[in-house]
């Protein structure tokens, strides 16, 4: 099995390192390629921000701290079992709707639009919660579907192309 992961002709140290990082990502419930893609986008965004801000290190460091905080939240949310997320999805949706109603009643106006809730410590847009909450019911639906084989995808693609 180790030879399959690291490939033929690789040293045992490379195998141990790869399997150790693989085991770490698996223990943290993180998809390695997806994490690398997210990190690449974050780094590219920070580079562009640094350049656009006139190479102001303060702006760069504040945004880097926010990216670090977001990655920490990502790691925390990845530890929540999927069954709990499925059970919480209707409640998350209800919370989002209540927060949107609160914005309509007591929301702050910024840049000409009333879309912010000011909690004293933090200001946020409840629409960000709704971006997740609207998709949440679909997660359980997708999780219950049986896996689709490559053959089935080819058949669907051909039938779609014929209908066009």
The pTM for the full model equals: 0.63
Sequence spans of domains, the chain: 81-148
CA–CA dist 77, 107 (Å, integer):
28
For residue 147, CA distances in Å to 3, 29, 86, 112, 152 come to 28, 20, 19, 47, 10
| pLDDT, tens digit (0-9, with 9 covering 90-100), for 49-88 | 999 998 889 999 999 999 999 999 999 989 988 888 888 8
Q: Would you state the pLDDT for residue 2?
A: 47
CA–CA dist 98, 96 (Å, integer):
5
Length reported for the chain? 164
| pLDDT, tens digit (0-9, with 9 covering 90-100), for 99-127 | 889 888 888 777 777 788 878 888 888 88
| pLDDT, tens digit (0-9, with 9 covering 90-100), for 8-45 | 555 555 555 567 777 888 888 888 888 999 999 999 99
What's the alpha-carbon Rg for the chain, to the nearest Å?
22
């Amino acid at each position: 099995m180790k030879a399959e992961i690291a490939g033929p002709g690789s040293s045992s140290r490379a195998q141990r390192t790869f399997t150790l990082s693989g085991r770490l990502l698996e223990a943290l419930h993180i998809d390695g390629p997806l994490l690398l893609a997210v990190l690449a986008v974050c780094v590219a965004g920070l580079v562009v921000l640094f350049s656009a801000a006139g190479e102001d290190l303060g702006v760069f460091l504040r945004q880097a701290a926010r990216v670090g905080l977001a990655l920490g939240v990502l790691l925390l949310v990845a530890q929540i079992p999927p069954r709990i997320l499925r059970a919480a999805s209707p409640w998350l949706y209800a919370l989002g709707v209540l927060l949107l109603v609160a914005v309509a009643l007591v929301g702050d106006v910024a840049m000409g639009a009333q879309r912010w809730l000011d909690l004293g410590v933090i200001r946020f847009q409840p629409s960000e919660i709704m971006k997740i909450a609207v998709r949440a019911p679909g997660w359980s639906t997708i999780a219950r579907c049986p896996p689709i084989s490559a053959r089935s995808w080819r058949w669907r693609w051909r039938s779609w192309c014929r209908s066009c």
